Structure 1
Amino acid sequence: MADTHLPKRAKVLPDELWRAVEHADLVVHAGDWVDVELLDELENRSRRLLACYGNNDHGELRTRLPEVGTAEVDGLRIAVVHETGQAHGRERRCEERFAGHDVLVFGHSHIPWDTTADTGLRLLNPGSPTDRRRQPHCTYMTADVVDGRLDEVRLHRLPARGNVA
């Protein structure tokens, strides 16, 4: 997930997303939390958390979170960062900056994204579960890691709710 912007855009994360968090072996958040209480809650409710701060995160969030987070899952090397710049040239820029990684999860645009760079780096933006902006739906992603590779990446559309922009 990325760009939750709590409690600015919504008061809470959708129940569907919390169920996904509680079943995941690794939860990834690509920044723009806004409120440290969500970080505390995700740390308590997830088995393992990989996260970074975003441009709207300040104070304690910047103290507790890195600009770039990394993890390895069954040999799959994952990085998470909030901003990757404009869409044009993104794959080239990211394959240079994140050489040695297999997957890069990023946020900032609130626009779901799934591409693969020439080097094989998979770039994923889950969109936002709470602030769809100009997108038709609020979204998040799930994926499976099988034998050290990313398998079955799924973009989940969330139903419209009263407290979701």
Structure 2
Amino acid sequence: MIKIGVLSDTHGDFPAQLYRFFENCDQIWHAGDWGNIETYNTLKQFKPLQSVWGNVDGQELRIEMPEHAIFTVEQLKVLLIHIGGYPGKYSKKCLRLIHTHRPDIMVCGHSHILKVIRDKEFGLMHFNPGAAGLKGFHSKCTALRFTIEGKTCKNLEVWEMPKTLP
């Protein structure tokens, strides 16, 4: 059994409340738009990390991580990508990756909109954790936490914080 923390679109921010939300997680997955290398360096020292770069991330971050990642946790194959879309409206690149790799879980970011959707067409769970950082049009900062046991995702929890600019 592995507890996973999922976030995206930090844009250089990592609210202190997220440390508490993720403190019992075994791994953290970040779906891109880190915003700066410092946020990445801080998070990779906190917990084991799976991450991809997003469209706002510069070369400094792009040399540290891939544009997309395919990996297995317990018995579930995961696709992690920044710009992925949604069931029925996947990006062309994401759709190719889904057809090629047949993931059980797909995690993306970019939209700043929290969504968890069962994709019946491809038999996968789609997770978009929304945006954890302060920059963007969203009104709340959000992230996800869940447990993977064997071939099952369970105990999904949502973290929310009002977005307040400094």
What's the TM-score, normalizing by structure 2? 0.83
The amino acid across from 1:19 in the alignment is R
| Greater shift in the superposed pair: 102-111 or 20-29 | 20-29
Pair 1:5 & 2:8 matched: no
Residue pair 1:73, 1:148 contacting (<8 A) in 2 also: no
How many angstroms apart in 2 are the aligned matches of 1:53 and 1:14?
A: 19
Residues 64 and 92 of structure 1: is their aligned pair in 2 closer, same or farther, counting only changes over 3 Å? closer
Deviation at 1:58, TM superposition (A): 1.1
- Deviation of 1:41 after TM superposition, in Å, equals 1.0
Q: What does residue 113 of structure 1 align with?
A: 115
Secondary structure at the aligned position of 1:23 is classed as: coil
Who is 1:9 aligned against?
Answer: none
For the 8 Å contact 2:34–2:40, the answer to whether it is kept is yes
RMSD across aligned positions (CA): 2.2
Instruction: Give the unaligned 5+ runs of structure 1.
Output: 7-11
> 1:69, 1:40 → 2: CA distance?
19
Which shows bigger deviation, 128-137 or 15-24? 128-137
Q: Is 1:139–2:142 an aligned residue pair?
A: yes
User: Are the equivalent residues in 2 in contact too, given 1:91–1:116 (CA < 8 A)?
Assistant: no
Unaligned runs of 5+ in 2: 1-6
Rounded to whole Å, the distance in 2 between the matches of 1:151 and 1:73 is 14
Do the aligned residues in 1 keep the contact of 2:131 with 2:143 (CA within 8 Å)? yes
Cα offsets for 1:88-144 (capped at 9, x unmatched):
732596565224211111001101111121221111110111237443311111111
Counterpart residue type for residue 104 of structure 2: D
Which secondary structure state, in structure 1, belongs to the residue aligned with residue 43 of structure 2? helix
The runs of at least 4 aligned residues of structure 1 exceeding 4 Å deviation read: 91-96
Alignment pair present for 1:18 and 2:19: yes
> Which stretch has the larger CA shift, 153-162 or 88-97?
88-97
Distance across 1 between alignment mates of 2:95 and 2:165: 39
Q: CA deviation at 1:146?
A: 2.1
Task: Give the number of equivalent residue pairs.
Answer: 156
Instruction: Work out whether residues 11 and 135 of structure 2, in 8 Å CA contact, stay in contact via their aligned partners in 1.
Output: no
Q: Is the 8 A contact 2:69 2:79 kept in 1?
A: yes
Q: Secondary structure at the match of 2:63?
A: helix
Q: TM-score, normalising length from structure 1?
A: 0.83
Structure with a larger share of its residues in strand: 2
Instruction: Note the 1:58-69 alignment, pairs <5 A.
Output: 58-69=58-69
- 2:88 corresponding residue in structure 1: 89
Contact 2:139/2:162 (CA < 8 Å) preserved in 1? no
> Cα–Cα, structure 1 residues 154 and 95, in superposed 2: closer, same or farther, change >3 Å?
farther
